[in-house]
Amino acid sequence: MTGEEFVPHSYGMQIETLGDAWYHDARLWMACAYGKREGLKTIRECWYRKDLDLETLICTRGRDFPLAMLATRLRCPRCGSRQIRVVWNFPTLDKRNSAAAGPKGRG
């Protein structure tokens, strides 16, 4: 996904802002999506990847900043590309979902 992001759901509630993500203890990282092809030319891929600090993003963008817009505001420091992927991980939601599924091994 370049310039777009998956917006997760939490039991019927959408997590739409940086403040919502903070509340759900989110972790995130960015990766440069530049490379492989530019038109008909093959170009060198940029492999830059970096964990992002959610607290710093909230301090600079505000709690109400939409998650869907975050990738459009980032740039790769290595190659300068604006083609960025942002990947979210919500460990608290993972724990809730695994607890709701019940113990493993029982059918």
How confident is the model over 88-106, as a mean pLDDT? 63
| More confident call, 17 vs 35 | 17
Q: Where are the domains of the chain?
A: 9-99
The model's pLDDT over 58-75, given as tens digits with 9 standing for 90+, comes to: 999 999 999 999 999 999
Return the pLDDT at 65: 96
Q: pTM to 2 decimals?
A: 0.68
CB atoms near residue 70 (< 10 Å): 20
Q: For every residue of 4-43, which 3-state class applies, written as one string?
A: CCCCCEECCEECCEHHHHHHCCCEEEEEECCCEEECCEEE
The model's pLDDT over 25-52, given as tens digits with 9 standing for 90+, comes to: 999 999 998 877 667 777 788 899 999 9
Q: Which position has the token pair 């059918």?
A: 107
